[in-house]
C-alpha cells in the first residue's frame, strides 16, 4: 500500500478540523484531513444563530459545505475517509484510514468531536429512537405525532424547536428541577404552544416491540407513569470520539483529551481541537478558534524540531 507523506494529519472534518486545515495550508504545511462528512456533525444544527457575521437562517450543512470548499481551495487533501488508527513512530505519526491507505506526518491534530450518548442502561435499538432532529424530524410530518425530547440543554432545545414544526405535541423530559439551557433557548421553547416541559422527570425505560410506543418515567416522588409517544429524540449527553488513537494520551474523567496552553496533548506532536478536548465551551465558534490555534502551534512545534 502506498504511504502518503504530509506535514500534518488532521483527524476530523468538523469546524475545528477544517479550520485547522485552512490555517495550516496558509502557513505552508502540507495537510491531509480525514472524515467522510464535510462539516462533521455540524449538519445536526438547523440554524447557526450565534456565529458572528452569519445573519438569517444559515444551516449547519451550509456552513460545513462552505468551510470544506474553502479548505479545498487552500490546497488541503481530503481522502473522504475516516482515520481508523493513529499511532506513533520515532519521527512522527503513522495513520491508517478505513480503506487501508497509510499516511505519515511529523504532527497531528485530533479534531474528531463527540457523539450523543444513549440512555444509560436503556436499550435504544427500537425504531423511532433518534439523535438528530434535523435528519429525522421530517419523518413525522403530517402524522399528528407526539414526540419526546429527553434532556434539557441547548441541544435538547434545538431538537424540540425543530420537531415542534412537524409534531402535534413535543414533550421535553428533563430529570433536573430546571432546564439547564440558556435564557434565549428557554424563551423560544416556552413560546411554542405545542412544547410541554416535564421537569423533575426521569426516563426509566422505553416501551415497544419493534417501534417505540411509550416512554416510561418517574417523577421526583418516584411516581411511575407510561407516556405514549410516536418517537423519541435523545439529548442526554456526549462522549468524545477518541477510539482511533493508538497512543497513550492524558484524558479527563469523561475521556476528553487534556491539552496545554498551546493545545498540545500529553503526547508530543499530537494536538487537539474542538469538542474532543477538555474545554469549557462546546460551540462551533470555539471549535473554529481551536482549529486556528492548533494549526499555528503545530507550525511552531515543527519549527522547534
Please give the domain boundaries of the chain with CATH numbers for all domains: 3-115+238-304 (3.50.50.60), 129-234 (3.50.50.60)
Cell 492548533, located at residue:
294
Residue 118 Cα distances to 71, 203, 289, angstroms: 33, 12, 29
Q: What cell numbers appear for 173 in the block?
A: 423530559
Compute the distance between CA of residue 235 and CA of residue 155 in angstroms, rounded to an integer: 6
Q: In 10 A of CB 177, how many CB atoms?
A: 9
Please check whether residue 128 is in contact with residue 232, taking contact to mean a CB–CB distance below 8 angstroms. Answer: yes
Percent of the chain with pLDDT over 90: 85
Q: What is the CA radius of gyration of the chain?
A: 21
Q: What are phi and psi of 34, to 5 degrees?
A: -105, 145
pLDDT exceeds cutoff 70 at 167? yes
Cell 439551557, located at residue:
181
Residue 93 Cα distances to 16, 31, 86, 168, angstroms: 20, 13, 7, 52
**Crossing angle of helices 15-26 and 60-73, rounded to 10°:** 20
pLDDT exceeds cutoff 60 at 87? yes
**Residue 1: what pLDDT?**
44
- pTM (predicted TM-score): 0.88
Q: What is the pLDDT of residues 235-268, one digit of tens each?
A: 999 999 999 999 999 999 999 999 999 999 999 9
pLDDT band of 3, cuts 50, 70, 90: low
pLDDT exceeds cutoff 80 at 192? yes
Amino acid at each position: 500500500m502506498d504511504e502518503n507523506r504530509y506535514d500534518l494529519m488532521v483527524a476530523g472534518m468538523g469546524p475545528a478540523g477544517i479550520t485547522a486545515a485552512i490555517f495550516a495550508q496558509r502557513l505552508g504545511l502540507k495537510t491531509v484531513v480525514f472524515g467522510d462528512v464535510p462539516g462533521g456533525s455540524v449538519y445536526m444544527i438547523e440554524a447557526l444563530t450565534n456565529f458572528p457575521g452569519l445573519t438569517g437562517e444559515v444551516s449547519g450543512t451550509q456552513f460545513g459545505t462552505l468551510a470544506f470548499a474553502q479548505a479545498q481551495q487552500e490546497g488541503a487533501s481530503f481522502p473522504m475517509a475516516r482515520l481508523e488508527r493513529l499511532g506513533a513512530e520515532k519521527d512522527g505519526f503513522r495513520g491508517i484510514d478505513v480503506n487501508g491507505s497509510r499516511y505519515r506526518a511529523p504532527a497531528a491534530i485530533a479534531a474528531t468531536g463527540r457523539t450523543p450518548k444513549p440512555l444509560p442502561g436503556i436499550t435504544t435499538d427500537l425504531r423511532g429512537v433518534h439523535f438528530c432532529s434535523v435528519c429525522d424530524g421530517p419523518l413525522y410530518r403530517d402524522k399528528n405525532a407526539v414526540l419526546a425530547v429527553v434532556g434539557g440543554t441547548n441541544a435538547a432545545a434545538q431538537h424540540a424547536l425543530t420537531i415542534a414544526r412537524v409534531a402535534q405535541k413535543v414533550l421535553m423530559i428533563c430529570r433536573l428541577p430546571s432546564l439547564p439551557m440558556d435564557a434565549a433557548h428557554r424563551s423560544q421553547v416556552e413560546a411554542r404552544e405545542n412544547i410541554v416541559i416535564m421537569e423533575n422527570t426521569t426516563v426509566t425505560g422505553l416501551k415497544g416491540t419493534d417501534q417505540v410506543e411509550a416512554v416510561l418515567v418517574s417523577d421526583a416522588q418516584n411516581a411511575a407513569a407510561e407516556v405514549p409517544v410516536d418517537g423519541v429524540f435523545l439529548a442526554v449527553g456526549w462522549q468524545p470520539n477518541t477510539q482511533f488513537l493508538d497512543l497513550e494520551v492524558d484524558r479527563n474523567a469523561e475521556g476528553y483529551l487534556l491539552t496545554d496552553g498551546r493545545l498540545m496533548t500529553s503526547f508530543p506532536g499530537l494536538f487537539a481541537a474542538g469538542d474532543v478536548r477538555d474545554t469549557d465551551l462546546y460551540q462551533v465558534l470555539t471549535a473554529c478558534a481551536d482549529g486556528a490555534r492548533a494549526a499555528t502551534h503545530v507550525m511552531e512545534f515543527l519549527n522547534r524540531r
